[in-house]
Structure 1
Amino acid sequence: MQAILDHLTNTIVEAGTEKQRLYIQGGGSKDFYGNPQALHHPKLDLTPYHGILDYEPSELVITARAGTRMQDLEKTLHDQGQMLAFEPPCFNTAATLGGCVAAGLSGPRRAYAGAVRDYVLGVKLLDGKGSVLSFGGRVMKNVAGYDVSRLMVGAMGTLGVLLEISLKVLPRPAAEQTLGFQVTMDKAMAIMRQCTGSPLPVSATCFVDEHLYIRLSGAESAIRAAQSKLGGEWVGDDTSFWNAIRHHTHPFFTMKNMLWRLSVKATTPPLSLPGTQMIEWGGALRWVAMDEHDCHPAGIRDLASSAGGHATLFYGDKSAAPVFHPLPPALLTLHRRLKDQFDPAGILNPQRMYTEF
């Protein structure tokens, strides 16, 4: 692997010297995500730099290279009765660990178990000057000063090329079952609030197609007690349902040509928007699928802001609006300073997050 690392380093050094911008790519499963300008630059392929470096199940920590396929990493964990609790979406079988962390996306369990950044213990990366930098470590108490390793989560490769990542993992639940309810959106929101305010073993919620689904995880006795309190009917083949929500293979995600992802306060009432909605994370995540002629980005983002959140154009015609919610001037300045420190020549995934740099 040293020859591959040398190649990656030399490519970045040469690109910096020649002011040649690069597009960092793993399996390509998230090429659709983010502003598309970076896609036009020469690719820096991370897939050859793969493999699990260290995994001791009793320590609940795994370390792997960025090009490691997610399906290989998760199979290794599954064989030991463990999992990535934040359930990252993998939009195809080529998805890699580096892409998972760089995108910073979490799945159905996020609101109840934590987000990607909550499980990142340490990273090794190449900055825009070709220097190998290490932050954090492989244990929970090995972070001092600024937690730069978690800064890389969701940075979309704009601050550095991830090489190695150490993640905290968790045991798989003893049992899991899903309750289904045929209800209106208002009623679904009320039940979600009931779940939030009660000590119930809820690990995922989703309202779609006039049905509310609540996944319960833990001891079988706790699951049965929760069902007695909430009501509903047991859902068969619930694993397939949650996998479809997690990996976006559910028909909802392909029913329209524009998909918006709104992160808002969980207590926000149903949003008055055209199209079709899906609600996750106890009300905090709203997916809105709509046709192009119904899409008014400024209005969508104003509505998200008024609900204490932000809106991302997940996929669709990205010429209509920036993908990510515009930042206030102070935060944009902070982002620019970070970019200048880690990538002074501006060669790593330029404009992938914000069109200003």
Structure 2
Amino acid sequence: MNHDLTTELQDRVRAALAAGTPLALLGHGTKSFFGRVGAGETLALSGHAGILNYQPQELVITARGGTTLAEIESALAEHGQMLPFEPPHFATDRRDATLGGTVACALSGPARPSGGAARDLVLGARVLTGRGEVLRFGGEVMKNVAGYDVSRLMVGALGTLGILLDVSLKVMPVPPVTRTAVQDCSLTEALARMNAWALKPLPITATCCDGERLWVRLSGAAQGVDEVLGRLGGERVDDALADAFWRDRVREQGHSFFAGDQPLWRVSLPPATPDLALPGRQMIEWSGSQRWLRGDAADGTTIRERVAAVGGHATLFRGGDRAGEVFHPLPDGLMRLHRQLKQSFDPGGILNPGRLYAGL
């Protein structure tokens, strides 16, 4: 698929601005569960698709926002390359995640601590603002810093600042080998081991503990990876089974931990933070800096108070009250800054109003 709908989308935004009609941005809907309940007329974005430029030797790819992750990853795989942040697809009904939705939600997978976050890898973007203007920020090389931070503003903004028409991303070569081992241990023991490993130059690209077993993934040159794997100990996992675990059970949340109707919280903490004894069951990733929590929605205040006390934040990732504040409340100063940015990019407040925070 290769379709440029810039003109059509621009006309639709300008008409909505003139009429004061809010627009609910929609790609393939794989991330519709994320964020607060949106409002407005649906503006379909998935038709604006196609890979615009891919230079394997330059480690950069540029694609329209409606391009699927599956298409991008397939193109990269032909040249032995990958998206370093391992973004989740959350594909449903044969409809895959789009690049625009992935960047707008700023979601990263198991490799985030080693490969970087989505925000770290966005080099540039072409954006349709709520004013109906098409603006370009950043570029296609790391050295191009003109407007670089502005393109990063769009990462995680959930479309409240603008529609991502095109995005340029840094890509990386697939490691020569990847190995996984598993060890029996509790969450407390897993945190201690993760923190000890973090102090050493080890080729660890992912960690995960579900409360009973600690999974650790290493990537790099075969000799070095196998040597470290032997020193860390644990049971070596078959490569195919390990790939399925990290992809399907962790990245795509197919693990039994994620099943059920209880609210799912994502807690972000400094990695060395000890167990906070939060209410509910936990799964730990990212060497302790990302902790998933299944708990009652009524415990939200307690969760956020304990997390904030150690410099972290908590997001109601799935379930619970989606009309309430699902993201960690911002200090007054930061909220004023958010409102000023919204006013600059979308003065009419027509793009995904309320999806990020109430009133934005």
TM-score tier by shorter-chain length is over 0.9
Alpha carbons of structure 1 residues 161 and 320: separation in structure 2 relative to 1, 3 Å: closer
Distance in 2, matches of 1:99 and 1:314, equals 16
Distance in 1, matches of 2:131 and 2:231, equals 58
Which segment drifts farther, 330-339 or 142-151?
142-151
Check whether the contact 1:126–1:162 (CA below 8 A) recurs between aligned residues. yes
Letter in 2 for 1:205: T
**2:245 match:** 241
**1:194 match:** 196
Question: TM-score under structure 2 normalisation?
Answer: 0.95
Check whether the contact 1:297–1:320 (CA below 8 A) recurs between aligned residues. no
**2:47 match:** 48
Distance in 2, matches of 1:286 and 1:210, equals 15
Distance in 1, matches of 2:11 and 2:321, equals 33
Which segment drifts farther, 263-272 or 317-326?
317-326
Deviation of the 1:256 alpha carbon: 4.3
Deviation of the 1:241 alpha carbon: 0.3
Which segment drifts farther, 249-258 or 191-200?
249-258
Deviations, residues 179-234 of structure 1 (Å, cap 9, x unaligned): 10011111111110121011111000000141000000001111111122211111
Q: For 1:122, which of 117, 124, 142 is the aligned residue?
A: 124
Distance in 1, matches of 2:205 and 2:251, equals 13
Deviation of the 1:146 alpha carbon: 6.0
**2:21 match:** 20
Identity of aligned residues (%): 48
In the TM superposition, 1:323-334 aligns within 5 A as 323-334=326-337
Residues 1:161 and 2:160 are matched in the alignment = no
Residues 1:259 and 2:254 are matched in the alignment = no
**2:87 match:** 88
Q: For 1:349, which of 349, 352, 356 is the aligned residue?
A: 352
Alpha carbons of structure 1 residues 229 and 170: separation in structure 2 relative to 1, 3 Å: same
In the TM superposition, 1:1-357 aligns within 5 A as 4-36=5-37, 38=38, 40-92=39-91, 93-144=95-146, 147-236=149-238, 237-243=241-247, 244-292=249-297, 295-318=298-321, 321-357=324-360
Distance in 2, matches of 1:13 and 1:2, equals 20
Give the aligned CA root-mean-square deviation in angstroms: 1.4
Distance in 2, matches of 1:322 and 1:347, equals 19
Alpha carbons of structure 1 residues 320 and 141: separation in structure 2 relative to 1, 3 Å: closer
Deviation of the 1:290 alpha carbon: 2.2
Deviations, residues 19-78 of structure 1 (Å, cap 9, x unaligned): 100011111000000001x1x421111111000000111111000000001111111111
Alpha carbons of structure 1 residues 273 and 32: separation in structure 2 relative to 1, 3 Å: same
Alpha carbons of structure 1 residues 191 and 256: separation in structure 2 relative to 1, 3 Å: farther
Distance in 1, matches of 2:237 and 2:333, equals 48
Check whether the contact 1:256–1:289 (CA below 8 A) recurs between aligned residues. no
Deviations, residues 313-348 of structure 1 (Å, cap 9, x unaligned): 001122584110010000000000000000000000
Distance in 1, matches of 2:86 and 2:157, equals 19
Letter in 2 for 1:197: L
- Structure 1, unmatched stretches of 5+, are none
Distance in 1, matches of 2:99 and 2:4, equals 20
Deviations, residues 267-318 of structure 1 (Å, cap 9, x unaligned): 11112122210000000001001245xx311111001101211000001122
Letter in 2 for 1:278: M
